[in-house]
Amino acid sequence: MRGGGSVSRARVARRIAAGAAYGGGGIGLVGVAAVGLLLAEVQLAKRSVGGGIAPLPPRGDGLYGLAFGREDPLSLGVLGDSTAAGQGVRRAGQTPAALLASGLAAVAERPVDVCNVALAGARSDDLERQVTQLLSDTSRMPDICVIMIGANDVTHRMPPTESVRHLAGAVRRLRTAGAEVVVGTCPDLGTIEPVYQPLRWLARRASRQLAAAQTIVAVEQGARTVSLGDLLGPEFAENPREMFSMDNYHPSAEGYATAAMAMLPTLCAALGLWPETDHLDADRDEDMLPVAKAAATAAREAGTEVTGARAPWALLKHRRRRRIPQESPASTAHGTAEPSSTRATRG
């Protein structure tokens, strides 16, 4: 059941979003001292396993789904921080961009051309540069873009109104350029194992507040969102050693695969790769809610999609996850990529 707590969270998220729209900047997620302490704890957490050093993310740009040829590819742009870049894995095929491209290719039965401009360590104020870089090549204008951002905004004390203002601007530019946009909202920093209570609770609260505000501004600009939450599923809480990489901070290959399986159906829906329906499955806790309430609900339920309906309403959906196809290496004109060799199941 969704009670008063959800209403309160929705109000906070709406205040942050409104502050971004009207130029406010003073609405904080948690106290400055608490966030500063959280940042210190996160840095310690990143150093506590594997020396705090994750391998540099591999380049995942290139053409995927070569089993379907090279002509008329879909164009996928990926923007954001280290999670979008795929830091923590060693093979291009293990990055979110590669996994999502392979899944899209299998469903669309078309090749998918990936341009990943995400930067490890990026905050939302870097999105303007990333969008400019992505749109600079007019021969590769994106059909769909994925943005994954927010964790560094929390740990580096960026005011949430400023954070979501940058996100809204990025989504608006991409939508104006004709791209569909899916935003993976701020992950739950409370899942980082070496961060202890009460900072774990503060981290979770700050992450969810930002995620909800991100959802509001993204949906209002015509994007869809998927809540990354605790990195998309109870698997992370139950199997942290398998789901986190050696630095205990970024996802492992299995973690990214779990995230990609949850995001893929939303990308496919945005591109019209299977029929949309207005039917909401009550058994899956789907609903039509005011956008702020939908955002607050999604922020605490990992893997939840929010998409705009008639204003001020939004659809809250829990789509069935799609298993990502297996891949085999292939060289492409833009780099090393891996085409899908099987088809994803529909249904």
Q: How confident is the model over 111-145, as pLDDT tens digits?
A: 999 999 999 889 999 999 999 999 999 888 999 99
Least confident of 25-29, 136-140, 255-259: 25-29
What tokens does 245 get?
Answer: 């990489």
Average pLDDT over residues 39-45: 57
pLDDT at 1: 42
- Higher pLDDT: 197 or 258? It is 258
pTM: 0.81
Show the tokens assigned to 152: 């560094």
Does residue 5 register a pLDDT over 90? Answer: no
pLDDT band for 54, please (50, 70, 90 cuts).
low
* Confidence at residue 114, expressed as pLDDT on a 0 to 100 scale: 96
Catalytic residues: 82, 247, 250
Q: Are 93 and 338 in contact (CB under 8 A)?
A: yes
Residue located via tokens 């609260």:
205
